[in-house]
Amino acid sequence: MIQIIQLRPYQTELINSIKSELRKGKRSVCAVLGCGGGKSVIQGMIAKGATDKHNRVLFLVHRQELCSQITNTFTACGVNFDYCSVSMVQTVTRRLAKTPKPALIITDEAHHALSDTYKRIYDYFPEALRLGFTATPCRMNEGGLGEVFDSLVTSVSTTWLIENNFLSPYRYYSVKLADTDGVHTRQGDYDKTEIAELMEKSVIYGETVSNYLKIADGTKTIVYCASIEASKKTAEQFQSVGITAAHLDGNTPKAEREQTMQDFRNDKIQVLCNVDLFGEGLDVPDCECVILLRPTKSLTLYIQQSMRSMRYKQGKTAIIIDHVGNVFRHGFPDDKREWSLSSKKRKEKNTVLVKECPNCFHVMRNTCTECPECGYAFEKEERSEIQTKQAELQELQKTDLLKMQPSSYYKQIKTFDEMKLFCKAKGYKFAWCIHKCIELGINVPQKYQYMMKFLNVREGRI
């Protein structure tokens, strides 16, 4: 079969890194590449290399919609399907005895690999090499993929992909239309029933549309909702002001779903509202805007949804409208993150509620009547079901988020550049940056070594 896809240099580099780990004797490798970096093409070329040698490949996906998309990519890569099966994990785990023994198992969206269905397959074929691909190698923020993978390789960052025109730049706007305080957590994320009740308010539908008209009017938009009811009502609200909109969910008949998606691609539908459909793996390069209406504690879900509008198109600047404050839980989509296969230690539940000063963004206990940072006096307000006043969207920059962090946030910083940015955002003197880097053992560029020496002498370290 003729190969019609050419790998980008960083994609070739990632494949070489994977091969290097396998040559070292590793049997299961997890590869990390940001959303939109072209993981399916890399997977296709690896599968081609295996099937060219008549080695059987089992490619696992967790959603039916992804099967045809992956199959098309693999066909373009020249994969020999006599030796390759693209299958849903739910199907394979029920038919293990009938599944041809693979030499290689490739897992798409490998952050799901800790679930029992995947592990049952891995255990049934213990001799097979395993490769996993994901943008976020963690499950519900707990990490722990080391249970199924023994090596982690990373590729270029999301920021690099933007700077080199492989992803579109973006503008981020955020204002909360609902307060998640008091919502319970179930299996690591907000309780779906409680979140659905919270987001099924008429004011939210109206505010969503009015803010869209102010910020992103005319753009092709995907809206991520918390429930079927909320998604339908949001679509109706868009329709009521003359915007072509549609709703889809997992219960929508396949033919209707496919036709709606085609209408969206063909500009017959401008706004597509959905519940948990268009996240992982979906390729919609002409989507220009996403609206987040589902609060989540899952970094993976947040990254997948917020970046769906960032597929590259010349001249495009993606728009992310966050109505549920996910950016304040997880940071920006292209923030630098340190990945590990190790499990994160569970933090003790924090029973202390906090609030944010609207004047200086200082965070304090919610019992405070006055901001200890700037003296802002809080007025007593009765708790309402939801604020109905018009909320103005604000475009956020990274320095805005850093400015909102408490002073102790510096202890979480890993690099000099991040410390320098935090120092600038907080308005501290540059010597503070150097001092904190010394404290945390962070490498400081050579040109600032004289300052390090001065501080070390002054404080008696040398």
Is residue 411, in this structure, part of any structural domain at all?
yes
In the predicted model, what is the mean pLDDT of residues 262-287?
A: 80
Is the pLDDT confidence value at 390 over 80? Answer: no
The CB density around residue 406, as the number of other CB atoms within 10 Å, is 13
Three-state secondary-structure class, residue 268: coil
Query: Which pair of structure tokens corresponds to residue 254?
Result: 């396949």
End-to-end CA distance of the chain: 67
Tokens of 98: 């009938």
Residue 131, beta-bridge partner list? 29, 106
Q: Is the pLDDT of residue 277 over 50?
A: yes
Same domain for 81 and 140?
yes
**352, part of any domain:** no
Do residues 141 and 179 share a domain?
no
List alpha helices for 266-314, DSSP H. 299-306
209 in the same domain as 129: no
C-beta separation of 277 from 249 below 8 A: yes
% pLDDT > 70, the chain: 85
Quickly count: other Cβ atoms within 10 Å of residue 382's Cβ: 4
User: Would you state the pLDDT for residue 241?
Assistant: 96
CA distance 272 to 219: 11
| Whether the predicted pLDDT of 388 surpasses 80 | no
Residue 435: inside a domain: yes
Residues 46 and 90 in one domain: yes
Report the range of poorest mean pLDDT among 210-219, 365-374, 393-402, 408-417.
365-374
pLDDT score recorded for residue 409: 84
| CATH number of the domain bearing residue 120 | 3.40.50.300
> Range of 298's domain?
168-330
In whole angstroms, how far apart are CA 338 and each of 1, 89, 242, 308?
Answer: 39, 28, 45, 22
Helix (H, G, I), strand (E, B), or coil: what is residue 325? Answer: coil
> How much is the average pLDDT of 360-384?
54
For residue 152, what pLDDT is reported?
Answer: 95
Bridge partners, residue 132, by sequence:
30, 107
Residues 6+ apart with CB under 8 A from 115: none
Q: For residue range 84-101, list pLDDT tens digits in order.
A: 999 999 999 999 999 999
With a cut of 70, say whether residue 313 has pLDDT above it: yes
Average pLDDT over residues 238-264: 91
Task: Report whether pLDDT(278) > 90.
Answer: no
Determine how β-strand 57-61 pairs with β-strand 28-32.
unpaired
In a domain? residue 428: yes
Q: pLDDT-based confidence at 453, cuts 50/70/90?
A: confident
pLDDT value of position 342: 84
3 state DSSP class of 184: coil
Residue 382: what pLDDT?
34
pTM of the model: 0.75
Cα dihedral across residues 334, 337, 342, 345: positive or negative = negative
Q: How far apart are CA 277 and CA 289, in angstroms?
A: 16
In a shared domain, residues 313 and 459: no
| Ranges 51-65, 191-205, 250-264, 353-367: which has the least confidence | 353-367
pLDDT given at position 4: 66
Rounded mean pLDDT of 8-13? Answer: 96
Average pLDDT over residues 259-282: 83
Same domain, 79 and 100: yes
Residue 372 has pLDDT above 60, yes or no: no
- Do 158 and 173 lie in one domain? The reply is no
Report how far apart, in Å, the C-alpha atoms of 293 and of each of 2, 231, 234, 437, 454 are: 44, 9, 10, 38, 51
pLDDT, position 127: 96
User: What value does the mean pLDDT take over residues 246-255?
Assistant: 88
With CA atoms as reference, report the closest residue to 274 among 308, 312, 310, 313: 308
Q: Are residues 142 and 204 in the same domain?
A: no
Please count the structural domains in the chain. 3
**Are 16 and 40 part of one and the same domain?**
yes
Domain boundary among 162, 190, 222: 162
Please provide the average confidence, as pLDDT, over all residues in the chain.
Answer: 84
Q: What are phi and psi of 89, to 5 degrees?
A: -60, -35
Give the DSSP H/E element, type plus range, for residue 223.
strand 221-224
Can you tell me the mean pLDDT for 256-260?
88
Which band of pLDDT confidence, cut at 50, 70 and 90, is reported for residue 377?
confident
How high is the pLDDT of residue 74?
95
CA 226 – CA 443 distance, rounded (Å): 43
CB of 226 within 8 A of CB of 195? yes
Length of the chain: 462
Quick check: is 359 in a domain?
A: no
pLDDT tens readout for residues 65-77: 678 889 999 999 9
Section 160-183 average pLDDT: 89
Pair (149, 20) in one structural domain: yes
Residue 390 belongs to some domain of the structure: no
Domain boundary among 107, 134, 162: 162
Going by their DSSP bridges, the two strands 394-396 and 170-174 should be labelled as antiparallel
Of 271, 172, 291, 301, residue with least CA distance to 225: 291
Rounded CA Rg of the chain:
24
pLDDT single digits (tens) 40-73: 999 999 999 999 999 999 999 887 767 888 999 9
pLDDT of residue 387: 37
pLDDT of residue 125: 97
The answer to whether residue 413 is domain-embedded is yes
With respect to residue 98, please indicate whether it lies within any of the assigned structural domains.
Answer: yes
Kindly indicate the confidence band of residue 117, based on its pLDDT and cuts at 50, 70 and 90: very high
Distance CA 349, CA 299 (A): 18
Indicate whether 150 and 298 sit together in one domain: no
Task: Give the three-state DSSP class for 221.
Answer: strand
Same domain, 189 and 133: no
Tokens for 453? 């020496």
Give mean pLDDT, residues 153-172.
94
Domain C-terminal end among 143, 162, 181: 162
Kind of pairing between the strands at 57-61 and 104-108 = parallel
